[in-house]
Structure 1
Amino acid sequence: MSLRALLAVGAVAVTAAGGYFAYSSSQNGQEVALKEFESVSFISSAQAANFKAKEVDTTDYGEDARIFGDPNAPVTVLEFASMTCGHCGAFHNEKWPELKKKYVDTGMVKFVFKDFPFDQRAAGASMMARCVADDKYFAAVGALFKTQDKWARAQDYMGELGKIAKLAGLSEEKFEACMQDEAVLDAVLKDRQEGMQKYKVDSTPTFFVNGDEKISGNVPLEDFEEVLDSYFE
């Protein structure tokens, strides 16, 4: 059965199950995770005082690219990740906060996030994140990685995704519609196809700095910083 067909079956199952949006203490994990990322937003005018980039990235990442950071930041990190990938979760939970503080908040680097789902659950999670309000997108992504062990392993994983969606402001009706939206699924799979064909991605997470230099896997923070630092004088 195709990924598209599997997602359609999942959406029907969610509709049939019903009732999973009722708030209870069992949702506390998702609620806390989402609140931790509520301040996440596009940084529109970050200015750095003590750096000069060796060259400015001019790569076209597409009009629908999810950009975190100052769009005019001279260096770009392009990330391909699967929402169910444990190494991706570890990067976002352990290393991303430090990289954000040192490079993104200062206006040195912007991150572009691309979906590279390896399975049905990852594709469904990516679809859900795309359906929340634009200013909640990265909050939803952060919450998904923060609570990955819970929703990705749950028997009723669609129900768990629905709880996160609700906390991100997506109604039950809109969540169900999202899970059956062919255009949303096509956008997710388009990212994956781009990763495979243009960038030759075969594992996650995979990063490209300024559209060129490749970083494979959840490498040590020091190694990631060494690569980024090399782009500045």
Structure 2
Amino acid sequence: MALSPKAGEESALIGAAVAQEAAEPEADATAAEDTAAEEAAADPAQEETAAGDSSAQVQDMVLGAENAPVEVIEYASYTCPHCAAFTQGPFKQIKENYIDTGKVRWIHREVYFDRFGLWASMIARCGGEDKFFGINDLIFEKQDEWIPAPGPDEVMNAFAIDQLRKIGRVAGLDGAQLEVCLQDRDKAQALVDWYEDNRDRDEIKSTPSFVVNGTLVSNMGYDDFARLLDSELEKAGE
């Protein structure tokens, strides 16, 4: 999926990043979640913690041994079908044969084409590093279910937020926690800034893209990826 950001695109993402502004509350269940979120926000200690989290540096999400001889940085968008295909296909074999065996350290970084991908990222990160990759898999697995069909903005926004909330709940996040994450404008801005810095530094022009031991490579199937990883392991004397 080609990456061609337009001027002002990032500010538009942030302008729509707060879920409460983007979607009507869900009936009954969501109304209860909103009440719980308001009660949590009324606690000054929790407010202070949320503000501290928002201003913190965005964390890379990592799998694999810290001292693995090969490092792969994946750049992927939650609204990119090629990224979903890679996550559901080649990545599973790479994880089994290279990451879980200590040969590869895998870093996942999100790319934001649109507000829906940004919201998905905020949901994926809502449970912290422990839950991130499980939610990441769910978001890609259910990509066809939560990305809205073209239509009026308010309808598209409401649909996407409703479906992403459901994914978050399936992953074990409670309603109040989801609302705090989705309404965190400072975190949304931090994520977009982080994405822009990564994109510019690593010259990312499409997704999925990968930086393998410092070299940028494009999407490929498992066999080609395995050959590349084996070559890097051989260089490292493994």
For Structure 1 versus Structure 2, the TM-score category normalised by the shorter chain is 0.7 to 0.9
Shift of 1:15: 5.3
2:77 is the alignment partner of 1:67: no
State the alpha-carbon separation in 1 of the partners of residues 20 and 67 from structure 2.
39
Q: Which residue of 2 aligns with 1:196?
A: 199
Answer yes or no: is the 8 Å Cα contact 1:116–1:195 preserved in 2.
Answer: no
State the alpha-carbon separation in 2 of the partners of residues 106 and 16 from structure 1.
45
Q: Which moved more, 1:98-107 or 1:169-178?
A: 169-178
State the alpha-carbon separation in 1 of the partners of residues 30 and 85 from structure 2.
28
- Which runs of 5 or more structure 1 residues have no equivalent in the other structure? 23-61
Answer yes or no: is the 8 Å Cα contact 2:73–2:211 preserved in 1.
Answer: yes
TM-score, normalization by structure 1: 0.75
Among residues 14, 21, 26, which one is paired with 1:4 in the alignment? Answer: 14
**Which secondary structure state, in structure 2, belongs to the residue aligned with residue 114 of structure 1?**
strand
Shift of 1:134: 2.5
Structure of greater Rg: 2
Higher helix residue share:
2
State the alpha-carbon separation in 2 of the partners of residues 185 and 63 from structure 1.
10
Question: For the structure 1 residues 63 and 116, does the alpha-carbon distance in structure 2 shift closer, same or farther, using more than 3 Å as the test?
Answer: closer
**Which secondary structure state, in structure 1, belongs to the residue aligned with residue 90 of structure 2?**
helix
**Which secondary structure state, in structure 1, belongs to the residue aligned with residue 195 of structure 2?**
helix
Question: For the structure 1 residues 7 and 199, does the alpha-carbon distance in structure 2 shift closer, same or farther, using more than 3 Å as the test?
Answer: same
- Which runs of 5 or more structure 2 residues have no equivalent in the other structure? 1-10, 32-56, 150-155
Q: Could you give the per-residue CA deviations for residues 40-83 of structure 1, whole angstroms, max 9, x where no partner exists?
A: xxxxxxxxxxxxxxxxxxxxxx8821111122212111011111
Q: Which residue of 2 aligns with 1:225?
A: 226
Tell me the amino acid that sits aligned with residue 70 of structure 1: A
2:92 is the alignment partner of 1:90: no
Answer yes or no: is the 8 Å Cα contact 2:20–2:183 preserved in 1.
Answer: yes
State the alpha-carbon separation in 1 of the partners of residues 228 and 97 from structure 2.
13
State the alpha-carbon separation in 2 of the partners of residues 16 and 71 from structure 1.
42
Question: For the structure 1 residues 189 and 143, does the alpha-carbon distance in structure 2 shift closer, same or farther, using more than 3 Å as the test?
Answer: same
2:177 is the alignment partner of 1:174: yes
- Percent identical among aligned pairs is 34
State the alpha-carbon separation in 1 of the partners of residues 62 and 186 from structure 2.
20
**Structure 1 vs Structure 2 CA RMSD:** 2.1
State the alpha-carbon separation in 2 of the partners of residues 214 and 81 from structure 1.
14
How many residue pairs are counted as aligned between the two chains?
191
TM-score, normalization by structure 2: 0.74
Q: Which residue of 2 aligns with 1:187?
A: 190
State the alpha-carbon separation in 2 of the partners of residues 194 and 13 from structure 1.
26
Question: For the structure 1 residues 176 and 18, does the alpha-carbon distance in structure 2 shift closer, same or farther, using more than 3 Å as the test?
Answer: farther
Q: Which residue of 2 aligns with 1:165?
A: 168
Shift of 1:222: 1.4
2:152 is the alignment partner of 1:152: no
Q: Could you give the per-residue CA deviations for residues 141-166 of structure 1, whole angstroms, max 9, x where no partner exists?
A: 01101111111136411001001111
Q: Which residue of 2 aligns with 1:215?
A: 217
